[in-house]
Amino acid sequence: MDNCIFCKIAAKQIPSKLIYEDEELMAFHDINPAAPMHLLIIPKQHIASLGDCNEQHAELLGRMMLLAPKLAQEQGHGYKVGEDGQPSGGFKTMFHVGPNGGQEVYHLHLHVLGGPRPWRGQF
């Protein structure tokens, strides 16, 4: 898509702090992090919003969600349950959908935020 910033990142026409790439997906650090870890997971294919997804996107969306705990773990913000059964660490995932959901970039992306709270602003 012309003029889509995340399509340009996917095509490596503009740089990003890339941390993951496969045939379908990419993940990179948010340019304006709202938490100590703030990652964005995107499909390389242009899909404007979660609100445009349907059954055909179920596998892609599942892969995006399952990538979040893997990358959080690699970034030192994984979710753990100790031998005493107590959870620790962890992260937050979010899709912003449309104007009322606070979406500003209309290329599907999953936010993955982690680190000690409090975080900034809407997050």
Query: What are the residues binding ligand 5GP (CB under 6 A)?
Result: 5, 16, 28, 30-32, 40, 96, 102-105
Question: Annotated catalytic, 109?
Answer: yes
Cβ 29 to ligand 5GP, closest distance in Å? 6
Amino acid at the residue 72: A
92: left (phi over 0), alpha (psi -120 to 50) or beta: beta
Cβ 13 to ligand 5GP, closest distance in Å? 11
Unique residue bearing structure tokens 């890339």: 18
Torsion sign (Cα): 54, 5, 37, 63? positive
- Which of residues 20, 29, 36, 46 is near Zn ion by CB under 5 A? 46
**Out of ligand 5GP, Zn ion, none, which partner does residue 46 contact, by CB within 5 to 8 A per kind?**
Zn ion
Total residues at interface with Zn ion (CB under 5 A): 6
R_g over Cα of the chain:
15
Cβ 40 to Zn ion, closest distance in Å? 12
Q: Which of 60, 73, 64 is nearest to 111 (CA)?
A: 64
Which parts of this chain interact with Zn ion (CB under 5 A)? 1, 4, 6-7, 46, 107
Cite the active site residues: 109
